[in-house]
Structures are given as structure tokens and as C-alpha cells.
Amino acid sequence: MAVPFEIEVEELDRRLKAGETPFLLDVREPWERDICAIGGSVLMPLATLPERVSELPADRDIIVVCHHGGRSAQATMWLRMRGFDRVTNLGGGVDAWARQIDPNMKVY
């Protein structure tokens, strides 16, 4: 089954609450992660992705996260072109997560 290119934060929240364990790839910069992050996500800034791609699991769903969904969409496309067919962009990024799922999360 093909995974969608993008999912909304409500879908990710549902999947996590159902016990699914996708690999959450945060492609923001370290200073952004210092402000807020989705629990369990792994920081790998977009510029470092080419040199760190071997660290990604090929056997798990990967959800790519950034601030609003732009950088993560770029990373999703880049990874799919390199054979990662289980990678999905999180629409709206951590900003949407904070506003719709976790009201205690800081926004910036």
C-alpha cells in the first residue's frame, strides 16, 4: 500500500495514540527544536540530510516534520526520489501540532 505524500496533524496524533511507531524526522534547525518539538522526534536538519540519510530506517514509516511543512515537503520529495517509499510529510508542521493537538507547546 502506498503511503500518502502528506498527512494532517490529527492523523499523526490518531496513529500515535493507536500505538503506531513511525520514525519522526525533524528537519528543523537546533535552535528551533530548543523552542518546541514533537516527543520522540529525531533532529536531522535539512542541510545535513544528504550526509545522514544512512541513519534513517528503511523498514519503518517516516513522518517528516518542520515548522510549517515546507522544508519537510522538500525532504519528503528528496527521500522519495532516493527510494524511501514510506516517507510522508506532516502538513502544517509543529506549528499545526501546537495549535491543534498540544496547546501547551510553544509556538514561534
Catalytic residues: 66
Cα→Cα distances 4→16, 36, 45, 87, 91, Å: 17, 26, 23, 8, 11
Give the residue among 50, 47, 84 at the shortest CA–CA distance from 66.
47
